[in-house]
């Protein structure tokens, strides 16, 4: 899934990198919180999201790790799975195409896309 976001790159980055606001934008994850004392996006920090799969269930928490946190350029995180696996990667190149953002789910979008 890919979504065009018609907003300046800085605003896109500000919104998508604040995981505590994820419930305002996601159809599945209705809340999230930073873990391990983190208070904002930085590569390597973790957060957990409270998910209601497909908007109806099941409901569960999932832990994610921020991969990239470059203001006005890109925010990316991995959804952690069992045994150190990655079950999904979310990448939002906020600076893509004339200062507009694109969001892609279930795949990787290079920052230069």
pLDDT per residue as tens digits for the range 69-83: 999 889 999 999 999
Q: Tokens 């290079």: give the residue.
A: 110
Residue 108, pLDDT above cutoff 60: no
| Confidence category of residue 106, pLDDT binned at 50, 70, 90 | very low
| Confidence at residue 8, expressed as pLDDT on a 0 to 100 scale | 85
49 - beta bridge partners? 32, 62
The pTM of this model reads 0.79
DSSP reduced 3-state for 37: coil
């Amino acid at each position: 899934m890919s979504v065009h976001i018609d907003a300046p790159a800085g605003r896109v980055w500000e919104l998508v990198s604040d995981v505590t606001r994820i419930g305002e934008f996601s159809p599945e994850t209705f809340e999230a919180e930073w873990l391990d004392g983190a208070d904002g996006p930085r590569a390597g920090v973790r957060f957990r999201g409270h998910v209601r799969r497909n908007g109806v269930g099941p409901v569960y928490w999932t832990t994610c790790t921020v991969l990239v946190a470059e203001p006005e350029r890109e925010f990316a995180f991995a959804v952690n799975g069992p045994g150190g696996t990655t079950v999904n990667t979310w990448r939002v190149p906020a600076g893509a195409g004339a200062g507009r953002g694109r969001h892609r789910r279930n795949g990787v979008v290079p920052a230069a896309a």
